[in-house]
Protein backbone atom coordinates (compact mmCIF):
# COMPACT_ATOMS: atom_id res chain seq x y z
CA UNK A 1 0.00 0.00 0.00
CA UNK A 2 2.79 2.34 0.94
CA UNK A 3 4.58 1.60 -2.33
CA UNK A 4 1.47 2.45 -4.33
CA UNK A 5 1.03 5.75 -2.53
CA UNK A 6 4.67 6.53 -3.24
CA UNK A 7 4.15 5.77 -6.93
CA UNK A 8 1.10 8.05 -7.13
CA UNK A 9 2.99 10.83 -5.36
CA UNK A 10 5.93 10.44 -7.75
CA UNK A 11 3.71 10.62 -10.83
CA UNK A 12 1.96 13.68 -9.40
CA UNK A 13 5.30 15.38 -8.73
CA UNK A 14 6.48 14.54 -12.24
CA UNK A 15 3.32 16.08 -13.73
CA UNK A 16 3.88 19.29 -11.79
CA UNK A 17 7.48 19.48 -12.99
CA UNK A 18 6.33 18.95 -16.60
CA UNK A 19 3.65 21.66 -16.27
CA UNK A 20 6.17 24.10 -14.81
CA UNK A 21 8.65 23.34 -17.59
CA UNK A 22 5.87 23.87 -20.16
CA UNK A 23 4.99 27.26 -18.65
CA UNK A 24 8.65 28.22 -18.59
CA UNK A 25 9.03 27.26 -22.25
CA UNK A 26 5.89 29.19 -23.24
CA UNK A 27 7.21 32.29 -21.50
CA UNK A 28 10.57 31.98 -23.17
CA UNK A 29 9.13 31.52 -26.65
CA UNK A 30 9.34 34.73 -28.64
CA UNK A 31 6.72 35.85 -31.09
CA UNK A 32 3.54 35.19 -29.14
CA UNK A 33 0.90 37.69 -28.01
CA UNK A 34 2.29 37.42 -24.46
CA UNK A 35 5.88 37.64 -25.59
CA UNK A 36 6.11 39.48 -28.94
CA UNK A 37 9.30 40.04 -30.92
CA UNK A 38 10.31 43.61 -30.00
CA UNK A 39 11.07 45.59 -33.17
CA UNK A 40 11.06 49.03 -31.56
CA UNK A 41 11.33 50.14 -27.92
CA UNK A 42 12.06 53.87 -28.18
CA UNK A 43 11.05 56.72 -25.92
CA UNK A 44 9.14 59.60 -27.55
CA UNK A 45 12.30 61.70 -27.23
CA UNK A 46 14.30 59.07 -29.15
CA UNK A 47 11.56 58.77 -31.78
CA UNK A 48 11.72 62.53 -32.42
CA UNK A 49 15.51 62.81 -32.26
CA UNK A 50 16.93 64.35 -35.44
CA UNK A 51 13.59 65.88 -36.44
CA UNK A 52 13.83 68.49 -39.23
CA UNK A 53 14.69 71.84 -37.55
CA UNK A 54 11.97 73.65 -39.55
CA UNK A 55 9.23 71.63 -37.83
CA UNK A 56 7.06 74.06 -35.80
CA UNK A 57 6.73 73.38 -32.06
CA UNK A 58 2.92 73.11 -32.25
CA UNK A 59 3.23 70.23 -34.70
CA UNK A 60 5.97 68.49 -32.73
CA UNK A 61 3.96 68.76 -29.50
CA UNK A 62 0.96 67.04 -31.11
CA UNK A 63 2.96 63.87 -31.83
CA UNK A 64 2.70 60.74 -29.69
CA UNK A 65 4.48 57.39 -29.81
CA UNK A 66 1.98 54.54 -30.18
CA UNK A 67 2.95 50.96 -29.29
CA UNK A 68 1.43 48.53 -31.80
CA UNK A 69 1.24 44.74 -31.99
CA UNK A 70 1.22 43.09 -35.41
CA UNK A 71 1.59 39.88 -37.34
CA UNK A 72 5.02 39.75 -39.00
CA UNK A 73 6.08 38.37 -42.39
CA UNK A 74 7.74 35.59 -40.35
CA UNK A 75 4.29 34.66 -38.95
CA UNK A 76 5.33 35.68 -35.44
CA UNK A 77 3.70 38.37 -33.33
CA UNK A 78 5.78 41.57 -33.20
CA UNK A 79 5.64 44.78 -31.25
CA UNK A 80 6.63 48.05 -32.89
CA UNK A 81 5.98 51.76 -32.61
CA UNK A 82 4.61 54.55 -34.76
CA UNK A 83 4.61 58.34 -34.31
CA UNK A 84 1.35 60.14 -35.21
CA UNK A 85 -0.87 63.03 -34.11
CA UNK A 86 -2.40 62.28 -30.69
CA UNK A 87 -5.93 62.68 -32.11
CA UNK A 88 -5.39 59.64 -34.35
CA UNK A 89 -4.30 57.26 -31.59
CA UNK A 90 -7.70 55.53 -31.22
CA UNK A 91 -8.08 55.04 -34.99
CA UNK A 92 -4.61 53.51 -35.27
CA UNK A 93 -5.16 51.19 -32.31
CA UNK A 94 -8.39 50.00 -33.94
CA UNK A 95 -6.83 49.45 -37.38
CA UNK A 96 -3.93 47.49 -35.88
CA UNK A 97 -6.40 45.26 -34.01
CA UNK A 98 -8.15 44.51 -37.32
CA UNK A 99 -4.81 43.85 -39.09
CA UNK A 100 -3.80 41.41 -36.35
CA UNK A 101 -7.18 39.67 -36.45
CA UNK A 102 -6.99 39.38 -40.26
CA UNK A 103 -3.36 38.20 -40.01
CA UNK A 104 -2.41 40.99 -42.41
CA UNK A 105 1.41 40.86 -42.20
CA UNK A 106 3.61 43.92 -41.71
CA UNK A 107 7.35 43.89 -42.44
CA UNK A 108 8.16 46.28 -39.56
CA UNK A 109 6.71 49.32 -37.77
CA UNK A 110 9.63 51.46 -36.58
CA UNK A 111 9.92 55.27 -36.35
CA UNK A 112 12.06 56.79 -39.16
CA UNK A 113 14.46 58.23 -36.60
CA UNK A 114 15.95 54.72 -36.27
CA UNK A 115 19.60 54.82 -37.49
CA UNK A 116 18.87 52.32 -40.27
CA UNK A 117 16.51 54.83 -41.91
CA UNK A 118 18.92 57.78 -41.80
CA UNK A 119 21.37 59.15 -44.32
CA UNK A 120 23.79 61.79 -43.01
CA UNK A 121 21.78 61.68 -39.76
CA UNK A 122 18.68 62.95 -41.60
CA UNK A 123 15.44 60.93 -41.54
CA UNK A 124 15.24 59.33 -44.97
CA UNK A 125 11.81 58.19 -46.14
CA UNK A 126 13.36 56.44 -49.16
CA UNK A 127 15.40 54.19 -46.87
CA UNK A 128 12.31 53.46 -44.76
CA UNK A 129 10.26 52.63 -47.89
CA UNK A 130 13.01 50.49 -49.43
CA UNK A 131 13.05 48.39 -46.23
CA UNK A 132 9.26 47.95 -46.41
CA UNK A 133 8.84 49.79 -43.11
CA UNK A 134 5.45 51.11 -42.02
CA UNK A 135 5.69 54.66 -40.66
CA UNK A 136 3.73 57.80 -39.87
CA UNK A 137 5.07 61.20 -38.83
CA UNK A 138 7.93 62.68 -40.85
CA UNK A 139 8.39 66.41 -41.37
CA UNK A 140 8.93 66.34 -45.14
CA UNK A 141 7.61 67.54 -48.48
CA UNK A 142 5.05 65.75 -50.67
CA UNK A 143 6.87 63.44 -53.11
CA UNK A 144 7.92 65.57 -56.11
CA UNK A 145 6.57 68.84 -54.64
CA UNK A 146 7.64 71.70 -52.40
CA UNK A 147 4.54 71.48 -50.18
CA UNK A 148 4.65 69.77 -46.78
CA UNK A 149 2.86 66.43 -46.77
CA UNK A 150 0.22 65.07 -44.37
CA UNK A 151 3.10 63.03 -42.88
CA UNK A 152 4.64 66.32 -41.78
CA UNK A 153 1.60 66.85 -39.55
CA UNK A 154 1.46 63.25 -38.31
CA UNK A 155 -1.84 62.80 -40.15
CA UNK A 156 -0.72 60.01 -42.52
CA UNK A 157 0.59 56.44 -42.43
CA UNK A 158 2.41 54.41 -45.12
CA UNK A 159 1.91 50.64 -44.93
CA UNK A 160 4.33 48.04 -46.38
CA UNK A 161 5.68 50.45 -49.07
CA UNK A 162 7.50 47.68 -50.96
CA UNK A 163 4.20 45.84 -51.51
CA UNK A 164 2.09 49.00 -51.87
CA UNK A 165 4.11 51.45 -53.98
CA UNK A 166 3.60 55.02 -55.06
CA UNK A 167 3.03 54.96 -58.84
CA UNK A 168 2.91 58.04 -61.05
CA UNK A 169 3.30 57.24 -64.73
CA UNK A 170 6.63 55.44 -65.05
CA UNK A 171 7.77 56.47 -61.57
CA UNK A 172 7.54 53.71 -58.95
CA UNK A 173 8.60 54.31 -55.32
CA UNK A 174 10.31 52.57 -53.67
CA UNK A 175 12.16 51.81 -56.91
CA UNK A 176 12.30 48.03 -56.39
CA UNK A 177 8.60 47.73 -55.53
CA UNK A 178 6.20 45.51 -57.41
CA UNK A 179 2.43 45.84 -56.92
CA UNK A 180 1.07 42.29 -56.80
CA UNK A 181 -2.34 41.77 -55.20
CA UNK A 182 -1.51 38.10 -54.57
CA UNK A 183 1.35 39.07 -52.25
CA UNK A 184 0.04 39.05 -48.70
CA UNK A 185 0.53 42.42 -47.03
CA UNK A 186 -0.76 44.14 -50.20
CA UNK A 187 -3.71 46.56 -50.10
CA UNK A 188 -6.42 46.75 -52.76
CA UNK A 189 -9.97 48.04 -53.21
CA UNK A 190 -12.33 46.24 -50.85
CA UNK A 191 -9.51 44.91 -48.63
CA UNK A 192 -10.61 44.79 -44.94
CA UNK A 193 -7.74 47.10 -43.91
CA UNK A 194 -8.70 49.67 -46.59
CA UNK A 195 -12.37 49.41 -45.60
CA UNK A 196 -11.55 49.84 -41.90
CA UNK A 197 -9.54 53.01 -42.54
CA UNK A 198 -12.32 54.41 -44.75
CA UNK A 199 -15.00 53.66 -42.13
CA UNK A 200 -12.99 55.85 -39.73
CA UNK A 201 -12.92 58.76 -42.21
CA UNK A 202 -9.45 58.21 -43.69
CA UNK A 203 -8.59 58.75 -47.38
CA UNK A 204 -6.67 56.03 -49.25
CA UNK A 205 -4.02 56.91 -51.87
CA UNK A 206 -5.12 53.86 -53.90
CA UNK A 207 -8.33 55.73 -54.76
CA UNK A 208 -6.51 58.70 -56.28
CA UNK A 209 -6.72 59.14 -60.05
CA UNK A 210 -3.72 61.24 -61.15
CA UNK A 211 -1.39 58.92 -59.27
CA UNK A 212 -1.64 55.85 -57.03
CA UNK A 213 -0.15 55.75 -53.54
CA UNK A 214 -1.28 52.32 -52.35
CA UNK A 215 0.69 52.47 -49.07
CA UNK A 216 -0.79 55.82 -48.02
CA UNK A 217 -3.73 56.68 -45.74
CA UNK A 218 -4.40 60.14 -44.35
CA UNK A 219 -7.03 61.81 -42.23
CA UNK A 220 -7.82 65.49 -41.99
CA UNK A 221 -8.31 66.64 -38.42
CA UNK A 222 -10.55 69.65 -37.95
ZN1 LIG B 1 2.36 58.50 -47.41
71-85, 134-148, 203-217: which range is least confident on average? 134-148
How far, in Å, is the centroid of ligand 1 from the Cα of 36? 27
More confident residue, 140 or 82: 82
Q: How confident is the model at residue 141 (pLDDT cuts 50, 70, 90)?
A: confident
* Contacts of residue 114, Cβ cutoff 8 Å, sequence gap at least 6: 40, 42
How far, in Å, is the centroid of ligand 1 from the Cα of 19? 48
How far, in Å, is the centroid of ligand 1 from the Cα of 216? 4
Average pLDDT rounded to a whole number, residues 61-76: 98
Q: Which residues surround ligand 1, an ion (CB under 5 A)?
A: 156, 158, 216
pLDDT tens by residue, 182-210: 999 999 999 999 999 999 999 999 999 99
How far, in Å, is the centroid of ligand 1 from the Cα of 217? 7
11 pLDDT higher than 90: no
Helices 89-101 and 192-199, axial angle in degrees (round to 10): 160
What's the whole-number average pLDDT of the chain? Answer: 93
List, in sequence order, the alpha helices (H) in 2-159. Answer: 2-28, 44-47, 57-62, 89-101, 125-130
How far, in Å, is the centroid of ligand 1 from the Cα of 125? 10
Amino acid sequence: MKGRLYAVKSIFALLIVCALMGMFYMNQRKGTAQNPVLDSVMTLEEALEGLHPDCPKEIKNQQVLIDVTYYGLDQLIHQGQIVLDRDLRQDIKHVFQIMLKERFPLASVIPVSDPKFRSDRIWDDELSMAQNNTSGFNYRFITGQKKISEHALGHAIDINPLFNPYIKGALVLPTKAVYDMNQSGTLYKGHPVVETFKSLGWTWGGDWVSLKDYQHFEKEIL
